[in-house]
Amino acid sequence: MQPTARHLPAIRLSASALTTLVAALLIGAPVIAALLTGLFGGGGEAWSHIVSTQLFGYTFTTLGVLLLTTVFILLLAVPAAWFVSLFDFPGRGIFEWALILPLAAPGYVLAYAWADIMEVGGPLQSVLRDVTGLSARDYWFPNLYSAPGLSFVMACALFPYVYLTARAAFSNLSLCTIEAARSLGASPARIFINVVLPSARPAIFAGLALALMETAADYGAASYLGVQTLSVGIFRAWHSFSEPAVAARLAFLLILIAFGLQLIERRSRGRGSVQQTATRWRTPKRRKLSRQAGLMVAAGCFAILLMAFILPVTRLVWVSVETGIGQKAILRPFLNSLVLAAAGSALAFVLAVTVVVGARQNRFSQLIGRIAAGAGYAAPGIVLALGALFILSWTGFSVAGPAALVFLVWIYASRFTAAGAEPLSAAFSRAPASLGNAARSLGANRFQRLVRVDLPVAMSGAAAASIILFVEMLKELPATLMLRPFNWDTLAVQAHAYASDERLAAATLPSLLITLAGLGPVILLSVQLTKAGESRAAG
Amino acid sequence: MNELLPLKAVGVSRFYEGTPVVNEASLTLEPGKITALLGQSGAGKSTLLRLFAGLEPVDAGEILLGDKVLSSTSTHVPAESRSIGLIFQDFALFPHLNALDNVGFGLKGMTKEARRRESGEWLERLGLSHRAKAYPHQLSGGEQQRVSIARALAAKPVAILMDEPFSGLDVTLKSEVRRIALAAVSEAGIPALLVSHDAAEAMRDADRIAVMRKGVILQEDTPEALYLNPTSLPVARALGPLFPVARADLPEAWATKLPEADSYCLRPEAIRLSGDESGVPMEVVSAQRTSALMELKLKYNGHDTLRGIGIGARRPSPGEMVKVTLSPEFVFCLPPESA
C-alpha cells in the first residue's frame, strides 16, 4: 500500500514555511534587488566607459588582493595552529587563545594603525634611520598603500578564522593515523605534508573562504589605502559618479566572487564534518619541543601576535593618549553606534530564530532560510546597501531622517542574520529531538515548545549570537556610510572620515572603542573554544 | 483520573519512501499490563511506538484508544493532544529545568503551589525527593530516568510508551531503577508499552511480549508461552539461544520421545548434566563457566553438535565422559525460516 495524503500536517507545514518565507524575503530582498539591477538595469555609456577603462583593473586588483591575502593568511595561520595544537612550547597556553585576539579589530582599524607605523615619519622608519644613519631617500621601504599592503593588513585582521578552523582540525587528528604513518617509516615532514595537511585541508579551506569573503567585502581598508578593489569601485560609481546602475553591475561581479567563496566554504565544511565523524580517533598528546625549538616557535607566535594586534593597537593607544583629541566629539557617534547595533541585533536575532526554528520544522523552510541567510552573509555590506537604495527608489520612499535608520537596521539584519543563526542553530542541535517529542507528549503545542523548551535550551547559543551580531554591526562601515542620515555618524563612520581626512590622531579613539567592544566577545569565544578543546582532549 | 482504556493498533502500516517499516501490525495494550515489543534494530519497534504516540501519521490502519480513533488515514490527533506519556532512552529531560520543574512541565490547570506539591509527591514516590532542586546534568543516569518516568506519570497519561528506557543505564543501576520505575508504571494501571531488543529484559519486566521483525508482529503472548511455544524460528530465536540438531545425531532413547521430524531446535537447557547416574553417556568437548551455569559442548556417536548446560562446583574436563538428560519441552520442531 502506498502512503496517502495527510491533510493536517500539510496545513501546518505551509504555515511554518510561510513565516520562514517572509523572514527569508526580508533577509534576501536587498541582495536580490542588487542582483536584478546588476543583471537587467543596463549601464549605458558610463558602463561602457568603465568596461573599457577600469573594470579589468577593479577585478584584477580584487582577485590579486584575494590571492595575496590567501598566501599571507596560510603562512600566518597554519604553522601557528599546527604548533599550538600538537606541540608544547613556552607560552603555548597563552598563544592558544591570544592568537584569536586580532579578530577584535576590523581591517580598516589595522590599516590606519599600520599606515601610521610605516609612514616616513612613523616609528618604524625613524628607528631604521636612527640605527643605520641613512636618510629616507637612501633605502627602499615597503609601501602599505598598495595591493600587497592591503593583503597584509587583511591577513593580519582575518588569519584567526583559519587559525581557529585549522587548530580544531589538527586537534581532531587521529593519533592512530599519525602512528600508522610513523610505523610505515614516514618522517615528521612527510607526515605533515602527506597525512596532516590533507586531512585538515577542508577545515583550512572553510576558514579561508570566510576570511576571503570578508576581504572581498572590505571597503574601509581598501579605500583608505587607495587600492582600487571592486568594493571601492562600487562606492565611487554610486557616490562620486552618481551611477547606481554601474555600481550594480560591479556589485554583480563582487557577488559572484563572494558566492563562489561561500560555495567553497560550504563544501569544505561538509567534507570536514564527514571526516571527523567517520573515523574513530584518539587526540594526539602534545609533544614537548626541545628548548631551542620551543623558544623559536614561541618567538614566531609572538611575532604574529605583535604584528596583527599588539603593535597596531599599542600605536593607536599611543597616538590617542599623545594627542588627546576627540573625547568630547566621541559621545554622539558612540551612542549612535550603540542604538543602531542594538536595533540591528534585535531584528537579526528575531530573523535568525525564525530561520533556525523554521529549518527544524521542514525541508522547504530549511532550504529557503539557508539560502537567504547565506546570500545576505556572502553579499558585502556595500552591495546590500545598494540593493536597499534600489528598493527605495522603486517604492518611492526617501532615505532621509529616521526612515533611513530603519533601512540601515534592515540592511544590518540582512547582512548578519547568518552570523547569528550559526550559534543559535548549533545550540538548537545540541537539544536532541527527543526533548521536543517529550514536550509534545506532555501536551505542549508548537509555540509552547519554542518558548518553554527550544529557546531556554538554546540560551547559551542565543547569548553568543547576540554578542556576535552586536559587535559585527558596531564594526560595519560601507552600508552605514551609504545609508545613514546626514550628520548621523557612528564610530566606524567617524573613524573612516577622520582617517580619510588624514586626521589619523582623531580616528584613533573611535577605532580603539570599536576594537575594545570587539575584544570582550572575542576573549569569551576564545576561552570557550579553548576549554571545549581541552575537555575533548581530556575525554 | 482518566478512564482506563486499551490502546490499540489495528492493521497499521507506515512506509518510508515506499518501503514498509511497519506492516499491517495489530497490537492491543491492555490497561495495567506492560507489553514488551521485542525485536532487533530496524525491526520497526520504535516506529510503531511513534505511531502509537502520534509523532508520525499512519499510512494504513488505525490507532485507537478504547473506541476513539487517534490515527487513521483521515484523522490524526497530534501527539500533544493524546495524553500519552513517553519515556526515552536518552531520558530527554529539559536541561534548563530542575528535577521538580521537569516533573511539573506537563501539569496544567493548577496553581504554581499545587503544581510544585504534586511534582514533589511524584519525586518522592520514585525515591527522589532529595534531588528536587538538582538539574539534569547533576543527576546520575538512574536518577534522570526516574525523573523522566515521574514526569510522564505526573501528567496522568492514558498510556505510557517506553523506548528502550533502561538501555542507557549502567548495569549495576539497571535492576534498581527498573524495579522502582516499573512498579510506578504498574501502579498507574494504564496500558504500557516497553520497546526492547533485550529478550531477558522483556521476559522479566513484561506481562506480554510481541515479537516484531521486518515491520511485522510475528507472535504475541505471555513471556512463558512465547518461550515454550514459539510458532516460528524467528520468534524462538528472539526469546533465547537455539541450536539445530539432526534427529540422526540424537540418542535413540531421546528421539523416540520427540515428534517425528528430520531436525530440531534445542534450547541449551534442553540437555543437562545429570545429577546422578541416570542419562545418556557423552564425551565433553569443552566446558565453560558463565557465572551460575556451565556451557557444555558434547560429542555423541562421533558428532559434536550437541550443547548443554550444567550446574555444580566441578567443571568437567574435555574428553571426560558425563551422563546427560533431555527435557523435551525445550525442544522445538519449527518450520525452516523462509527467505
pLDDT score for A174: 62
Chain B contact present for A11, CB below 8 A: no
CATH of the domain at B275: 2.40.50.140
Q: Which of A431, A432, A437 sits opposite B55 (nearest CB)?
A: A437
C-alpha cell at A530: 579553548
B105 and B167 co-located in one domain: yes
Query: B139 to chain A nearest CA, in Å?
Result: 17
B137 and B159 co-located in one domain: yes
B101-to-A448, A523, B93, B95, B180 alpha-carbon distances in Å: 15, 34, 10, 11, 21
What are B293-305's pLDDT values in tens digits? 889 999 888 888 8
Query: A442 to chain B nearest CA, in Å?
Result: 5
What are A284-310's pLDDT values in tens digits? 567 788 899 999 999 999 999 999 999
Q: Which of A6, A429, A442, A450 to mutate to test the interface with B (most CBs of B within 10 A)?
A: A442
Contacts B152 to A, Cβ<8 Å: 441-442
CA–CA gap between residue A16 and residue A9 (Å, rounded): 11
Contacts A447 to B, Cβ<8 Å: none
Contacts A2 to B, Cβ<8 Å: 15, 18, 59
Q: Does B183 map to a domain?
A: yes
What are B26-53's pLDDT values in tens digits? 999 999 999 999 999 889 999 999 999 9
The tally of domains found in chain B comes to 2
List the strands of the sheet with B216-221, edge to edge: B84-87, B159-163, B192-196, B34-38, B208-213, B216-221
DSSP code for A310: I
Asked if residue A26 lies in contact with residue A415, where contact means CB atoms within 8 angstroms, the answer is no
C-alpha cell at A458: 538554546
Q: Which of B59, B86, B108 sits opposite A1 (nearest CB)?
A: B59
Say yes or no to pLDDT of B14 above 80: yes
Asked if residue B285 lies in contact with residue B299, where contact means CB atoms within 8 angstroms, the answer is yes
Q: Which of A6, A440, A441 to mutate to test the interface with B (most CBs of B within 10 A)?
A: A441
Chain B contact present for A270, CB below 8 A: no
CA–CA gap between residue B4 and residue B158 (Å, rounded): 7
Spell out, as residue ranges, where chain A has pLDDT lower than 50: 1-11, 272-282, 535-539
Q: Does B254 map to a domain?
A: yes
Put simply, the answer to whether A443 touches B152 (Cβ < 8 Å) is no
Which residue carries 489495528 as its cell?
Answer: B10
Q: Between residues B183 and A458, which one has the greater pLDDT? A: B183
Chain B contact present for A239, CB below 8 A: no
Chain B contact present for A444, CB below 8 A: yes
pLDDT score for B2: 61
pLDDT score for A7: 42
- Between CA A206 and CA A212, with CA A211 as vertex, the angle to 5 degrees is 95
CA–CA gap between residue A10 and residue A1 (Å, rounded): 20
Chain A contact present for B73, CB below 8 A: yes
pLDDT score for A461: 67
Q: Which of B60, B83, B92 sits opposite A435 (nearest CB)?
A: B92
ipTM, two decimals? 0.78
Q: Which residues contact A232 (CB under 8 A, 6 or more apart)?
A: A58, A219, A222, A223
CA–CA gap between residue A117 and residue A135 (Å, rounded): 17
Burial class (CB in 10 A: 0-12, 13-18, 19+), A198: exposed
Q: Which helix (H) or strand (E) holds A368?
A: helix A363-378
Asked if residue B284 lies in contact with residue B316, where contact means CB atoms within 8 angstroms, the answer is yes
* Gyration radius of chain A over CA positions: 25
pLDDT score for A3: 41
Chain A contact present for B44, CB below 8 A: no
Q: Which of the residue ranges A262-276, B73-87, B320-334 would you say has the lowest mean pLDDT? A: A262-276
Q: Which of B13, B96, B135, B167 to mutate to test the interface with A (most CBs of A within 10 A)?
A: B96
| Fold entry, domain A51-319 | MetI-like fold (1.10.3720)
pLDDT score for A501: 86
For strands B321-326 and B271-273, give the pairing.
antiparallel
B63 DSSP β-pair partners: B9, B71
pLDDT score for B255: 87
B278 and B303 co-located in one domain: yes
DSSP per-residue codes, A385-415: HHHHHHHHHHHT----HHHHHHHHHHHHHHH
C-alpha cell at B2: 482518566
B110 and B13 co-located in one domain: yes
Q: Does B2 map to a domain?
A: no
Chain A residue nearest residue B50, CA to CA: A437
How many contacts does A have with B, using Cβ atoms within 8 A? 87
B220 and B247 co-located in one domain: no
Q: Which residues contact A439 (CB under 8 A, 6 or more apart)?
A: A448, A449, A452, A453, B80, B94, B105
Measuring CA to CA, which residue among B177, B161, B160 is closest to residue B169? B177
Query: B55 to chain A nearest CA, in Å?
Result: 7
Q: What separation, in Å, do the N-terminal and C-terminal C-alpha atoms of chain B show?
A: 48
Q: Does B339 map to a domain?
A: no
**Residue type at B90?**
D
- The CATH H-level (homologous superfamily) assignment of domain A11-41+324-500 is MetI-like (1.10.3720.10)
- Using DSSP, state whether B328 is helix, strand or coil: helix
Residue limits of CATH 1.10.3720.10 in chain A: 11-41+324-500, 51-319
CATH of the domain at B83: 3.40.50.300
Put simply, the answer to whether A435 touches B59 (Cβ < 8 Å) is no
C-alpha cell at A191: 607526515
What domain range is B72 assigned to? 7-231
B301 and B161 co-located in one domain: no
Put simply, the answer to whether B86 touches A437 (Cβ < 8 Å) is yes
Residue A363 sits at φ, ψ, to 5 deg, of -70, -35
Put simply, the answer to whether B94 touches A456 (Cβ < 8 Å) is yes
B172 and B41 co-located in one domain: yes
Chain A contact present for B15, CB below 8 A: yes
B169-to-B90, B133, B175, B181, B239 alpha-carbon distances in Å: 9, 22, 10, 13, 22
Put simply, the answer to whether A431 touches B95 (Cβ < 8 Å) is yes
Chain B residue nearest residue A456, CA to CA: B96
B211 and B158 co-located in one domain: yes
Q: Does B197 map to a domain?
A: yes
Asked if residue A125 lies in contact with residue A99, where contact means CB atoms within 8 angstroms, the answer is no
pLDDT score for A275: 41
Tell me which of B170, B196, B231 is where a domain ends: B231
Residue B10 sits at φ, ψ, to 5 deg, of -120, 105
Q: Which helix (H) or strand (E) holds B64?
A: strand B60-65
